[in-house]
Amino acid sequence: MNSPATSKTFASQADLEEKKVTFEQLSEHAWAYTAEGDPNTGIVIGDDAVLVADTQATPAMAADVIRRIREVTDKPIRYVVLTHYHAVRVLGASAYRPQQIIASNDTRDLIVERGEADKASEIGRFPRLFRNVESVPPGMTWPTITFSGKMTLWLGKLEVQLLQLGRGHTKGDTVVWLPQERTLLSGDLVEFDATPYAGDAYFSDWPTTLDNIAALNAKALVPGRGPALKGEAQVKAGLDSTRAFVSDLYASVRAGAAAGKDLKTVYRETHAALQPKYGAWVIFDHCMPFDVTRAYDEATAHPHPRIWTAERDIDMWKSLEG
């Protein structure tokens, strides 16, 4: 049986190659900022204002998003939406100088509970994404408006819905939906040719949440990572491949846990089982130790994700990859 190499560099610390950025229009009012598997940003340019969903990891990195927005509009960037609480998605918010930062109540609760720990954890995992980390203001990125379930914004005559369609990547996941254009900004609930990070996930819920996204019948979608999805066939492919990964991983882990196997054994068996199908996806080797650890927790004694700290990250990595 093939097993993961024991000499892997921790998380993404060896990933130092710059990625090519693509900024493309998906519908009349929606744009996608993507970078070959790095975290994406979605942009909505309404009649009188701009909305940005997911900010990049630092203000210095957000500056490139702003530069590209300014190539197509001079309208004020009024709203920033946090699709979830992870540092790599939220710590660039200050660069946009938004009037409002919007998140679900659940996402704000997670920032209160584990924001500081997550910030330290992610900076350790992703040195390239957190370059110029000194540009991040002290403290947390706090939403100024929170909601539960559904919130509607009107950017002039453009309707923008913020929806909680279920738990998956985190318990606070929010999507941005333009019903008039059938365009969706999914955050990390959907990935494409990129490995879903599931260290804070709800594996049992995630496939149903993807079904709820599918029911919107989007014809364009900005995933959390990977290229923008254009057309119903590509959107379906993104949903299907994300669902398959989450389901395959959890089925393998749950079977191993039910058989009484320890986490390290389950990790090696699950890595070997998934590598042929998913191993070429971006950050596969980064995500798998975190994903399997969370899946094992959910299948055994921890229905809710435990907090990742920088210390827990290293201890877990040494245990599974050492």
**Sequence-ordered strand ranges (E) for the chain:** 22-25, 30-35, 38-45, 50-53, 77-81, 100-104, 145-147, 150-155, 158-163, 175-178, 183-187, 220-223, 229-230
pLDDT of residue 55: 96
Residue range 243-260, pLDDT digits in tens = 999 999 999 999 999 999
Mean per-residue pLDDT for 306-317?
95
pLDDT of residue 128: 83
How many secondary structure helices (H) and strands (E) does the chain include? 8, 13
Q: At what angle do helices 284-299 and 263-278 cross, to 10 degrees?
A: 130
Percent over 70 (pLDDT), the chain:
95
Segments making up each domain of the chain, as ranges: 22-321
Confidence of residue 132 (pLDDT cuts 50, 70, 90): confident
What lies within 8 Å, CB to CB, of 244 at 6+ separation is: none
pLDDT of residue 5: 40
- Which superfamily is assigned to 22-321 in CATH? Ribonuclease Z/Hydroxyacylglutathione hydrolase-like (3.60.15.10)
pLDDT of residue 41: 98
Least confident among 123-132, 274-283, 289-298: 123-132
Q: What is the pTM of this model?
A: 0.94
Mean per-residue pLDDT for 92-111?
98
Residue range 22-42, pLDDT digits in tens = 999 999 999 999 998 899 999
Residue 322 in this model has a pLDDT that exceeds 90: no
pLDDT of residue 3: 42
Least confident among 139-143, 197-201, 272-276: 139-143
